[in-house]
Structure 1
């Protein structure tokens, strides 16, 4: 199970790298009005989103494998896991939101400012901190 844990951590870390970087591309897209630069940023965002999706699926597969292998979540004192899984569902929603926002840029219908995207960029940091606290400290 240690190998499964290593790969879960690897894919989660890689997925988060994408979750941190995708909104930065969206910030730049919101600020840009030069078509060649916009096309380059859209290409980068599309490629990153596809790669992030693969990483997310692998992180979830290895996470489920760990969950089943260790039998975590059964019995008292595992409230932390239920809270963590709730945050993971929020992360999946955030991932999907990044894809939806990218589609709006591709269609040229984005209505949000670069400032909004800067705040949007902070969401995965907060979720990661909360997940790490739950996994390491196991407060409940």
Structure 2
């Protein structure tokens, strides 16, 4: 499998002007270097990386499908085994307008805002008690150029 690389969101391609975003991408580059085999071979996946300073959950969308995709949508649930959920069947849409085209073997960051209650639940989440579900996955396939 080709090593995973970080891809800028379309919004940031013109140049990163927010110092927080610059720091975020630097951290993501380090994460990708430490996780070159991240994602699921021949699939599209998301991974939770943590909470940002401004109470948003940081994810990476990982494209290992072998072809570029855009307008990715799915229904997402995340919580702990005891049944408490941070998100319950929330529709997430990674639009081409905001994200651009997600290339193969790339990880693209995205954020979801958290309430204080959601953040407290995340703090109790561990690798062993975490449950997540990604359903109704759709995308527009782009041809490799």
Q: Which has the bigger relative contact order, CA under 8 A and spacing at least 6?
A: 1
TM range (shorter): under 0.3
Structure with greater strand percent: 2
Normalised to the residue count of structure 1, the TM-score between the two structures is 0.23
Give the structure-2-normalised TM-score.
0.22
More helix by share: 1
